Amino acid sequence: MIIQALEVMLFGMLGIFIVMGVIIGVISLLGKLGKPSKEREEPPED
Amino acid sequence: MDMIGRFFSALFGSVINMAADPASLAKMLVMWVIGGVLIYLAIKKDMEPALLLPMGVGAILVNLPMSGALDQLVGNQVQRGALSVLFDAGIENELFPLLLFIGIGAMIDFGPLLCNPKLLLFGAAAQFGIFLTILLAASIGHFFPGTFSITDAASAGMIGAADGPTAIFVSGYYDTKYMGAIMVAAYSYMALVPIIQPPCIRLVTTRKERLIRMPYAKDKVSRRVRILFPIIVTVIAGIVSPQSVTLVGFLMFGNLIRECGVLDSLSQTAQGALANLITILLGITVAVRMHADEFLSIHTLLIMLLGLFAFVFDTIGGVLFAKFLNLFIKNKVNPMIGACGISAFPMSCRVVHKMGLAEDNQNYLLMHAAGVNVGGQVASVIAGGLVISFVDQIIGKV
C-alpha cells in the first residue's frame, strides 16, 4: 500500500503541475491575444 | 398495570433500553459533549459557524437513543430517517458538495490570478500536504492493518485541500466511514488557519525573505479572458480526470455565471441562497457519519492528526516552492505568498497579508496573496480529481 500511495503522490504532484502549466500557457496566450499590440498603439513613424 | 407500563414504555422506552447498555450510554453522552463543543466553537469562537453549528446539532440528533433522524429497524421493517434520506440524496451521490461549488464559483473573483497566471504554480505546490498525508495514512494502514485502506488514506489526505466540499466529494466517492471525522478536521483546521500558518511560514523563511516587496501593477483583465478561463479549466481538467470533471465543472460553471455579465440575478442566487441552503443541509447531513459507534475511535484522533499534518505540509510546500523559484527568477517573490496556495479562501491570503505588514508596514501583499489563494482553490479541486483518478486506477475501479 505504501508503494501505491507513493505512486499517487508522485504522479499526483506531477499531474497537478502539468495541468496548471497547460492552464497557465493557454491563459497567457489568451491574455496576449486580448491586448492590442505595441506597434498598433504607437503612432507610425514617418 | 398494563396501561401504566405502556405509558412509561412510550415515554422512556429508549432511555430504559440505553440504561441497559451502559457502554452505549457513555458513548452517546460523549457525542453530546462533542456536539456541544462544536456548537460552542461555532457561536463563541466564530469558527466556521455555518458548518460547525449544523454539524454540532446533527451530532446530537443522530446520537439520541433510537433517533428517528436515522434509519431504524422496527420489527422487520426499516423506518427511514430524514437525515439518512438526505445523506443518500445529497452526499452519497456527491450532489451537495457539487451544488455548493456552484455557489463558491460564483463568489470567486479570479481577476488577481488572471493578471498573473503563473501564481497557479504556487497553488499546485501547496497541494503537497495532501499527497504526503495520503502516503502517511497509507503507511499507517500498512503497518497497522485494519486502520486505513488506500481509499480511506485518499479521503483523509483531502483534508489538506483546505476546501470542505472537495473533501466531502472524495470521502463520499469512496464512501469512507471516516467522513464525519474528516469533516470536523477539515472545517476546524480551516478556521484555525490564522493559528496554524504563521509559525509554519516563520519556520521556513528568514526575515530577509519575509521583507521582500512585491509591487502590484494592476492589469485590466479582458472580459473575454474572464469568460474563457472557466471553460478552459473545465475542458483541461475534464480531459485529465474525467471521473471528477463535475467537481471542477460545477465550480467553473458558478464562475461563468458570475463573469458572463448577463446572469446577475442567477449569480446573486448562487452566491447567496443556493450556497446558504446547501451549507445548512450539508452540515447537518454529514452528521450521519458522526454516530458514536463510528466516530468514537482511535481513528478519529488519527484523522485529526493527519489533517493537521496535511495543513502544515501544504503551507510548507507552498513556501518552499516560492523559495525554490526565487533561485531562478529576477523579480523575487515574497515566499510567504506560497502559503496561500492552501486554498482556505480568503482566510489564508489575509493571514499572509497581515504577516507582510507586520514585517514591513509598506509591503502590501494582499493582491498577490489573493491570486495565489484563488489559484489554490482551483488546484485543490484538480488535486481531488487527480487523487480519484490515480486511486481508481490502483484499486481497479476503472
Cα(B205)–Cα(B245) distance, rounded to whole angstroms?
Answer: 37
B153, B137 contact by CB (below 8 A): yes
CA of B317 vs chain A CAs: smallest distance (Å)? 11
A29 touches chain B (CB under 8 A): no
Give the rounded distance of the alpha carbon of B395 from its chain centre.
Answer: 24
Residues of chain B with C-beta less than 8 angstroms from the C-beta of A28: 117
Quickly state the pLDDT bin for A46 (edges 50, 70, 90).
Answer: low
Q: What's the sign of the alpha-carbon dihedral B239, B111, B190, B38?
A: negative
Position A43 scores a pLDDT of 56
Mutate to test the interface with B, among A11, A14, A20 (most CBs of B within 10 A): A20
* A8-21: average pLDDT: 92
Residue ranges of chain B with pLDDT lower than 50? none
pLDDT over 80 at A11, yes or no: yes
Rounded to 5 degrees, what are φ and ψ at B72?
Answer: -130, 145
* Grid cell listed for B15: 432511555
For the cut 70, the answer to whether the pLDDT of residue A39 exceeds it is no
Interface mutation vs chain A, best among B394, B395, B397, most A CBs within 10 Å: B394
- Residue contact B117–A28, C-beta within 8 A: yes
Q: Which of B119, B115, B354, B337 is nearest to B212 (CA)?
A: B337
Residue A18 confidence (pLDDT) above 60: yes
Sorted by sequence, the CB contacts under 8 Å of residue B363 that are 6+ apart come out as B211, B213, B214, B334, B356, B357
The DSSP result for B207-260, as a single string, is HHHHT-------PPPPHHHHHHHHHHHHHHHHHH-GGGHHHHHHHHHHHHHHHS
**A2–B142: do the CB atoms touch at under 8 Å?**
yes
Q: Whole-model pTM?
A: 0.82
* pLDDT attached to residue A35: 61
Instruction: Give bridge partners of residue B74 from the DSSP assignment.
Output: B77
Q: Give the three cell numbers for residue B44.
A: 463563541
Asked if A23 lies within 8 A of B117 by C-beta distance, the reply is yes
Mutation for testing the A interface, residue in B382, B388, B397 having most A CBs under 10 Å: B382
Q: What is the average pLDDT across A6-32?
A: 89
In this structure, what C-alpha cell is assigned to residue B322? 516560492
Radius of gyration of chain A (CA): 21
Q: Find cell 497557465 and name the residue.
A: A24
Which residues have a Cβ under 8 Å from the Cβ of B98 and sit 6 or more positions away? B165, B169, B246, B247, B250
Q: Which residues, at least 6 apart from B26, have a Cβ–Cβ distance to it below 8 Å?
A: none
